[in-house]
Every structure is written in structure tokens, then in C-alpha cells.
Structure 1
Amino acid sequence: MDTRGPLRRGRRRSCCRALPVDRNGRVGSRPNNRRRRRNVGRRWLVPHARQVDQFTAVGAVLRGRSIDQRGAAARRAVTATRSAGDKPLQFGLNLPVATPGITPRLLRDIACRAEELGFVEVWLGEHVVLFDKPVDSYPGYDTGEAFFPATLAIPDPLVAHAFIAAATEHIRLATGVMLLPQRNPVYTAKHIATLDWLSDGRLDVGIGVGWSSEEFAACGVPFEHRGRRADECIEVMRSLWAQQISEHSGDFYELAPCRQYPKPAQLPHPPLWIGGYSTAAFRRVARHGDGWYGFDHSASAVAGFVQLLRRELEAHERSVNDIAIVCGAYNLMPRERSAVVAYAKAGVEQFVVSLRGSQPDELDDELQYLARTLM
């Protein structure tokens, strides 16, 4: 798989463009090869043809704005076109960390291939430690067994996305989801701002409050009040991102007046997408979120969640047009276009697919199949 950028794939050109000389030493005119060069130069754009409508739709909104303002403006424009029925469902990709034998190079290559095929975003979740016999069950899967094996190689999402950002051009990078209350908000704000700055404003921050009391204990953080702790983490991070001088005094964190740089490329901060299905989670979206992220639920269940979310948004004088609605799947991964359309009808803007291949050499074929079938 050739993961080089379009300029690197092209023919090398000398900075000195000498005219050709024939066998007799006579200087001739340069051959008329402009058309051939133009075709070579545009060949790399073909896989992204599906996204032309997106850039057309948001063009008027972005015109005249700096790159620092594009994140929020683009989200509002895309949401407006989606609600008007003018924009097709977008697709993201959960990077296949569950595949045995996954390597950093393969993870990078899959992200590059997703970009070529027209996926708009790549996603990585977070778990710091896993347990062979967990005390707590993944929400909605109370089977008494681990939702995934403890040997699963889940990389730190921000570190891994920095690696992927260096190899890609425009595909967005999302955490799905980051377990925010387990983290120090000052360090996390620094990491997020740095990654958004390095990636030229391509980061979306998916946030969850976690579900494993054992994982919280391993991180030295109380499991109780994790929702309130997450809310305060968001307040601390927003202050560090948006203010020249930040300070905070709360129930969990104290921050004396200080400065933190660099600021994120997306101002005032990268989009915050809140995960979860409880009333508290939907209220968190309404209070703090730029979007909602759901995972592994049927389209009908998602439609019900969107209605609950709508009520919380209205209570905070907001609407679903103010946020992005994203849904992903693994166990309930659809394999036909009609099944995905049901999610779009439920209000989903981006559907995040997962690869089920058990061998590394199966992943590229499966990704291309999903692109052909679902997109």
C-alpha cells in the first residue's frame, strides 16, 4: 500500500528546467505535455470525489474565515445540509486494534487507505488496563464475561493519533471514547491542544465517564462521582484552551492563575462529543457537548436515544441542529446499505464502521468491501 502523499507519488522535478537537446546538439522546444502532467497531478484526487459535495456545502460558511474557526463553522454547515436532506451519511472507521498481530505500520496503512476511500474520520477508544475476570460488565452486556479480551492491545488514542496524523492529509481523528475522569485534566488539555495544533485542526474529542471500577482504582481515582468529575474536567480544559490566563476552584481540582500553550488550532477548542445513554450523559451533551456518540445499538434504539437527547437540548435552549450525532457498531455492524440508511433516518450524521477480519491481510479487502457496499 503506497501511503506517500500525492506530491511524493508524482515524478521528481528538477528546479532547473532546461530545454531538451536533440542528438545533434540543437536546442529544441519543450514538448507539449501539459495535459499529461495535469492528469498525473489530479489522479490522487479521484478517491475523494465523494467529499466534493461536503466542501461545496460548507464553502460559503468557511469563506473568509481562518483555519482556527473552521471546526465549528464546518459542523454547523454540515448539520444544516444533513437536516435539509442534501448531504449523504458520512462514514468513519474504528481502527482495528482488536485484530491479532496488528502493528503500528498496519494501523497507519489502514488509516491511509480509509482516507483514500473517502472515510471522513478514524476512531480510537481508550482503556488503560484490562482484567481477565472483570468485576464490572460493559453497559448493556451483562453476560458475566469480559466484553473483550484483557490481552487487547489498545494504544493511547492521543499518542496513536499523532502517529497517524503525520501520515495522513485531511482525515479527521477522533477518540471514541476517552475516559476523561480517569485523567488529569491539565495534562489532558495539553495533549489535546498539542495534537490539534500538530494535525492542523483535525481532532474530535469523544468523552466518556467510564464503567470499570477496577480501572479507576488502578488509576488512583475514585469511581464515585465520576460524572461530576468529568464535568469539572471539561471546565478546566476549556479554560486552559480558551483563556490566556486560566484559574479554577472546584470540588475536585484547584488551578492557580497560569498559562498553557500552544492553543488548539480549532478555537475555542476541538469538538467535544459525549458518549453515554443515561439522562446524565444526555444532559452533559446539552451543557458541554458539540455532539453525541453512541456505540453498538440498533437504529431503532438510536432513534429513541435521539428523542431523549432532544428533550435535554431543548431544556438548555439548544436543538439537535446544534450538535453532531455519531453512531458506531461492532457486534451490530451492518453489512448492507439499507441497514445503514435506517441510522441516517434516526438522525445519525456519521456512522463509524468496524472491521471484523481476524488476520491483518484481510483488513484491506474488508475495508474496500465496506466502502463499496455501504458508501
Structure 2
Amino acid sequence: MKFGISTFVTDEGIRPTTLATALEERGFDSLFLAEHSHIPVSRETPYPDGGELPRPYYRTLDPFVALSAAAAVTETLLLGTGVALVVQRDVIHTANEAASLDLISDGRFVFGVGVGWNREEMRNHGTDPRTRGALLNEQLQAIKAIWTSEQAEFHGEHVDFDPIYAWPKPVRTPHPPIYVGGESPAAIERLAAHGDGWLPRGHTEPEQIRSVLRSLAERGKSDVPVTIFAAGRDESRIEGWADVGVERVTFFLPTLPEAETLTALDELAALAGRHAG
């Protein structure tokens, strides 16, 4: 099993270049960065984990910018969005950003996507929270068309554009892998229809993963790679994930100053070393 890191990169924590170099030096294979464009002051939507919204949510760097900086100082590290809130983004710009990152990283980009949870944040982008799942499904189809067609077009209920030219194209063939975040029935349907890999969160039990993979195989979608997003340090759960065929675990890294971050990475690297292979 492989091991990476998932985190929030902010203006108050370790720089993305320093973080990426430290990860590669310690043998981690990937870096997945979260996204929030802003946090509305109203705060009507409750934080899914309960309590106050953690400070890093308010200060998150754009993941494509941060991952591009990380790409420039690394050679093997996979660079993932975890997750890109595509429903809050222009679909053509997002396709271009993702393809550009894949190009400058020599094909190391992993496109982790999700629908998000903060309804006020979505509304500020003109997105109706009630239809965000259907919107994302169409956006993923449109992005694939832009990545793989010389003249791309898409005509759906939520996404609609006539033929366009759009370069660069991604380095990966046929395109960067799309990892679908979430464990809900809608997320699993999205994975089956549009995804190349699954990005369940760190509270997901091994048996749930086994069940989902079995149901996907029964529908003709076998060998779906699984990366755990924002895992804790429970070693029995890590062993359980390995037993059900999880490919990668990304440990959640708190957003801290550089010295504290490097200490935390040393601890996580030791933990990963006990389960790697």
C-alpha cells in the first residue's frame, strides 16, 4: 500500500514548495490539497464534523496554484485535488487549469472532485445546491470532452457550449484520472458513471469499501483504485484497508508552521513505513 498526505495549504502554514520537497524526501507518494474559494460570513450551513469551522477553511490557497508550485520542485510526487469543488468553477477554465498542471508536472496530476457541502459558498458562485450533483456529472463529461477532443462541444441541461478549441491537452492518456470523493449513494453512482478512482474519507470502514467495490464489479466496473482521503493514525483500520485492496492512504496533516509540520511528517513517515508494501 502507498501513502500520501492530504491537507489544507494556507497563508499561515508551511509553503507548498517546502511541503512537497519534504514529502518526496520522506517517501510519500502523493499530496492531495483541499479547496474552498471563500467562507460566507453567514455560516448557515453547519460544519459536517460539528463544532466551529476550523481556521484553515478560511485561508485555503487555490489548489491548482499550490500544486503547480509543488510540481516545480518535485519529480515523482503525485499531485491531487482533494477535492476540487468543480460545481463552484467555470468548467472550461477548470479543464484548462487541470490540463496545464498535468502538462507542467509531466503527467502527475490526479483530479479529485466532489460536490461540496457549504450551500452559501455554492450560491455565491451562482450554483443551486439542489442540483449540484447533476451539474457535476455534466461538468465531468464536458471536461473529458475538452481534454480529449480537438473540437469539443457539450450540450446538457446545466452545461452547454458549441465547439471550441482548447489547449493544452493533458499528458496522461486518455486524461488525468478522475477520483470521485464521497461515500453517498449519489457519489457511488457518479464513480460508476464518470470516475476512474474512488476517494472515500478517513472514517470509511474497510467493509464498506469492500461492499462498494463488489457492487461496482457486479456492474462491470472492476479494479477501481481506492485512495483514502484524510486518514487518521488508527493502525488496525490501516490494516483493514490493506486487506480490502485499498491502493493508497493519505494521512490528514494539520496546517502548521514549517518546523511543526516537518515533525508531524516524520511521525507519519514512520507510521507509513510500518505498513508500506
Distance in 2 (CA, whole Å) between partners of 1:138 and 1:302 is: 25
Is it true that 1:109 corresponds to 2:109 in the alignment?
no
1:262 CA drift (Å): 1.0
Q: Structure 1 residues 306, 137: closer, same or farther in 2, change over 3 A?
A: farther
- The match for 2:46 is 137
Q: Structure 1 residues 188, 357: closer, same or farther in 2, change over 3 A?
A: closer
Distance in 2 (CA, whole Å) between partners of 1:199 and 1:146 is: 36
1:243 CA drift (Å): 0.8
Partner of 1:101: helix, strand, or coil? Answer: coil
Deviations 1:279-330 (A, max 9, x none): 11101111111100011305xx242144134314422x112x1x21011235
Q: Which runs of 5+ in 2 are unaligned?
A: none
Structure 1 vs Structure 2 CA RMSD: 2.1
Counterparts of 1:277-296 in structure 2 under 5 Å?
Answer: 277-296=183-202
For residue 142 of structure 2, the aligned residue among 236, 250, 263 is 236
1:152 CA drift (Å): 3.5
For residue 69 of structure 2, the aligned residue among 156, 160, 163 is 163
Is it true that 1:276 corresponds to 2:182 in the alignment?
yes
Contact 1:190 1:261 (8 Å CA) reproduced: yes
Distance in 2 (CA, whole Å) between partners of 1:138 and 1:303 is: 26
Distance in 1 (CA, whole Å) between partners of 2:41 and 2:56 is: 5
For residue 263 of structure 2, the aligned residue among 351, 358, 365 is 365
- The match for 1:186 is 92
- The match for 1:120 is 29
Amino acid at match of 1:369: E
Distance in 2 (CA, whole Å) between partners of 1:297 and 1:232 is: 28
1:339 CA drift (Å): 4.3
Contact 1:209 1:227 (8 Å CA) reproduced: yes
1:102 CA drift (Å): 1.4
Contact 2:153 2:162 (8 Å CA) reproduced: yes
Counterparts of 1:198-217 in structure 2 under 5 Å?
Answer: 198-217=104-123
Distance in 1 (CA, whole Å) between partners of 2:98 and 2:54 is: 27
For residue 238 of structure 2, the aligned residue among 325, 334, 340 is 340
Is it true that 1:311 corresponds to 2:224 in the alignment?
no
Equivalent residue pairs, number: 273
Distance in 2 (CA, whole Å) between partners of 1:90 and 1:150 is: 26
1:359 CA drift (Å): 4.1
Distance in 1 (CA, whole Å) between partners of 2:184 and 2:237 is: 25
Amino acid at match of 2:208: G
Amino acid at match of 1:329: A
Q: Structure 1 residues 101, 343: closer, same or farther in 2, change over 3 A?
A: same
Amino acid at match of 1:365: T
1:118 CA drift (Å): 1.1
- The match for 2:2 is 90
1:156 CA drift (Å): 0.8
Amino acid at match of 2:2: Q
Q: Which has the higher contact order (CA 8 A, sep 6+)?
A: 2
Distance in 1 (CA, whole Å) between partners of 2:45 and 2:34 is: 18
Distance in 2 (CA, whole Å) between partners of 1:248 and 1:357 is: 39
Q: TM-score, normalised by structure 2?
A: 0.91
Distance in 1 (CA, whole Å) between partners of 2:70 and 2:159 is: 32
Amino acid at match of 1:236: A
- The match for 1:325 is 226
Contact 1:130 1:150 (8 Å CA) reproduced: no
Q: Structure 1 residues 210, 96: closer, same or farther in 2, change over 3 A?
A: closer
Contact 2:253 2:264 (8 Å CA) reproduced: yes
Q: TM-score, normalised by structure 1?
A: 0.68
1:209 CA drift (Å): 0.9
Q: Structure 1 residues 203, 357: closer, same or farther in 2, change over 3 A?
A: closer
Distance in 2 (CA, whole Å) between partners of 1:318 and 1:303 is: 18
Deviations 1:84-137 (A, max 9, x none): xxxxx1001124536x83153xx3112101111111101101111124562223
Contact 1:271 1:291 (8 Å CA) reproduced: yes
Q: Which runs of 5+ in 1 are unaligned?
A: 1-88
